[in-house]
């Protein structure tokens, strides 16, 4: 069974230029947050007393989707969902020592990737969501072979079969590869790899604990030559990661499903209130751009924009406090007017504007996917029972190679499965449609575990709200294949 927790980083994980937030062509090391880069902080804003929501344009896909899904990063709200397991198992735990994590040296060489692609139309993605999935897993084994200690498996990542991809921006069900994953160590490009260490499977359940003991210093997807993307996604594993995941030698280990509702409601519409959003574990987009009193829920930038009638002086713009991101940068603010450098300048921006002010985004919800009954199923994800750490990584978006360590503030935890990774976004791009994406993984082999050329594919899909210019959504997909 799987529950998923979505950590809201200043990275929204998946790409601030593509799914992380706040990506700038002049910033060579952008951490993936949840900001929407399509709103310029210096642009003059015109207040409106009518909240509007513009549905995304309808795109007619000209390519064939690479996957179909029944369920959709960013890399951006924090939420926890728990699915109660129907059965329990015991396992032989690995050592529970806590490793001391420290960043690797900054790379100095410049690597180049030559991926090319010419899709039509070309979406421009500007932000990345951040994801932490916390699965609770129940294995349902059907056979009980006996294995010794599995030992080490070097998992070499085959570039051509390991894409970083997005679903949705080009049309319903259309999945577009943006780049492929490679490795970088000491500034030099290499074939990416992980090193997994598995203990002895439990004789009753067939479950063994997996540690991630080594990897390339960085795994990266170079989309710098992709039209409209112009970014490099860098992933730095923080190792060793003890008790990172499980392998089910007898099968029965589920995949991972994530889902998010872009619009649970809108403040001031049909009586929907901030308390309603909070009670549903939602988060309000651009709460500093809507009226808290007076014309509740309407767009605003100063208190007078919210007055119920001209001169009433009963309006308050902004539901909560934030900090100025333009104008009086760094100062506390409730609305854009608080950040203007002088009265009437209209050069202030409070907080990080998003495209649908007042819309209540639902939490990221995780659940157990379809049961994978085949032997060799793997899940690497944080979990409380059993105590698993997942794969801690630092995720960042850069304009060029080489990848550099973005620092501890960009640390998140990946949740990977060799089963099926499914994601769904309801009210996709704040419209009325649902977008889904499915990525199939491929199981490992306990009998042939130590073979570096053995089977195995790990996948991750996640929703990325408001990551496409104009307020569009996307589902981000990570594929690491050894085949």
The Cα-based distances of 448 to 46, 147, 253, 421, 443 in angstroms read: 64, 11, 19, 24, 12
| Mean pLDDT of the region 170-198 | 96
Determine the pLDDT at residue 131: 52
Residue 117 has pLDDT above 70, yes or no: no
How many angstroms separate the CA atoms of 328 and 349, rounded? Answer: 8
| Cα torsion angle, 292, 294, 299, 300, sign | negative
Give the per-residue pLDDT at 455.
97
Q: pTM for the whole thing?
A: 0.71
Region 178-207 average pLDDT: 97
pLDDT at 325: 96
Cis peptide before 240 (omega within 30 of 0): yes
Q: Say which range, 62-76, 301-315, 361-375, has the weakest mean pLDDT.
A: 62-76
- From the list 95, 363, 380, 343, the residue with the least C-alpha distance to 245 is 380
Q: Which two tokens stand for residue 390?
A: 């997942």
Provide the pLDDT for residue 366: 85
pLDDT of residue 321 exceeding 90: yes
User: Distance (Å, rounded) from C-alpha 235 to C-alpha 480?
Assistant: 12
Taking the CA atoms of 161, 166, 167 and 169 in sequence, report the sign of the dihedral they define: negative
Burial classification of residue 119, based on how many CB atoms lie within 10 Å of its CB (0-12 exposed, 13-18 middle, 19 or more buried):
middle
Structure confidence at residue 471 (pLDDT):
80
The H or E element spanning position 278 is helix 274-279
**How far lies 10's CA from each of 130, 231, 234, in Å?**
8, 17, 15
Highest mean pLDDT among 67-71, 187-191, 395-399: 187-191
Task: Report whether 399 contacts 230 (CB < 8 A).
Answer: yes
- pLDDT over threshold 60, residue 49: no
For the ranges 31-45, 73-87, 281-295, the one whose mean pLDDT is highest: 281-295
Q: How much is the average pLDDT of 226-239? A: 90
Q: Count CB neighbours of 347 within 10 A.
A: 18
pLDDT above 60 for 94: no
Residue 413: which H helix or E strand, with range?
strand 411-414
Quick one: average pLDDT of 53-57? 38
Average pLDDT over residues 420-438: 96
Mean predicted confidence (pLDDT) in 465-481: 91
Which of 69-83, 129-143, 232-246 bottoms out in mean pLDDT, i.e. has the lowest?
A: 69-83
206 vs 415: CA distance, rounded Å: 21
pLDDT-based confidence at residue 398 (cuts at 50, 70, 90): very high
Q: Where does 341-390 show beta strands of DSSP type E?
A: 349-350, 359-361, 365-372, 377-380, 382-383, 388-389
Q: Where are the domains of the chain?
A: 3-38+65-94+107-262+363-481, 265-359
Q: Work out the average pLDDT over 287-297.
A: 94
Average pLDDT over residues 140-169: 86
The predicted structure's pLDDT at residue 139: 55
At 81 the pLDDT is 33
pLDDT band at 369 (very low <50, low <70, confident <90, very high): confident
Question: What's the DSSP call for residue 396?
Answer: E
Tell me what the pLDDT averaged over the chain comes to: 77
Token duo for residue 125: 């993605």
Closest by Cα among 325, 349, 403, 324 to 30: 403
Q: How many helices (H) and strands (E) does the chain have?
A: 1, 33
């Amino acid at each position: 069974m799987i529950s998923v927790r979505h950590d809201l980083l200043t990275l929204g994980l998946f790409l601030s230029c593509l799914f992380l937030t706040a990506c700038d062509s002049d910033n060579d090391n952008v951490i993936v947050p949840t900001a929407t880069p399509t709103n310029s902080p210096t642009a003059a804003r015109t207040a409106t007393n009518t909240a509007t929501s513009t549905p995304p344009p309808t795109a007619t896909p000209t390519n064939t989707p690479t996957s179909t899904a029944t369920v959709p990063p960013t890399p951006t709200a924090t939420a926890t969902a728990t699915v109660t397991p129907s059965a329990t198992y015991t396992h032989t735990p690995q050592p529970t020592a806590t490793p001391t994590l420290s960043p690797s040296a900054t790379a100095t060489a410049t690597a180049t990737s030559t991926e090319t692609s010419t899709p039509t139309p070309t979406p421009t993605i500007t932000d990345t969501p951040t994801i932490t999935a916390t699965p609770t897993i129940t294995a349902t084994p059907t056979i009980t072979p006996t294995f010794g200690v599995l030992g080490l498996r070097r998992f070499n990542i085959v570039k051509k079969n390991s894409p970083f991809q997005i679903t949705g921006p080009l049309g319903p069900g259309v999945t577009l590869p943006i780049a492929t994953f490679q490795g970088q160590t000491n500034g030099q490009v290499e074939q990416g790899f992980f090193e997994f260490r598995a203990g002895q499977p439990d004789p009753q359940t067939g479950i063994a604990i997996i540690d991630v003991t080594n990897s390339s210093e960085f795994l990266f997807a170079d989309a710098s030559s992709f039209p409209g993307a112009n970014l490099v996604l860098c992933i730095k594993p923080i190792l060793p990661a003890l008790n990172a995941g499980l392998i089910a030698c007898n099968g029965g280990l589920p995949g991972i499903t994530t889902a998010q509702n872009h619009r649970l409601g809108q403040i001031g519409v049909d009586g929907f209130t901030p308390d309603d959003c909070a009670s549903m574990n939602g988060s309000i987009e651009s709460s500093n751009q809507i009226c808290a009193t007076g014309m509740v829920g309407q767009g605003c930038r100063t208190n007078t924009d919210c007055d119920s009638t001209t001169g009433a002086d009963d309006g308050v713009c902004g539901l909560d406090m934030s900090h100025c991101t333009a104008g009086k940068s760094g100062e506390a603010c409730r609305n854009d007017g608080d950040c203007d450098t002088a009265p009437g300048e209209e050069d202030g921006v409070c907080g990080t504007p998003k495209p649908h002010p007042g819309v209540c985004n639902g939490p990221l919800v995780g659940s157990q996917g379809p049961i994978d009954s085949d032997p060799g199923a793997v899940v690497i994800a944080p979990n409380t029972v059993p105590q698993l750490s997942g794969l801690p990584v630092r995720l960042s978006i850069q304009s060029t190679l080489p990848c550099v360590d973005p620092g501890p503030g960009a640390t998140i935890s990946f949740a990977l499965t060799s089963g099926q990774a499914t994601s769904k976004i309801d009210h996709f791009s704040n419209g009325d449609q649902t977008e889904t994406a499915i990525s199939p993984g491929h199981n490992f082999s306990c009998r042939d575990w130590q073979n570096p050329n053995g089977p195995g594919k790990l996948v991750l899909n996640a929703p990325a709200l408001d990551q496409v210019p104009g307020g569009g959504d996307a589902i981000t997909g990570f594929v690491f294949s050894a085949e």
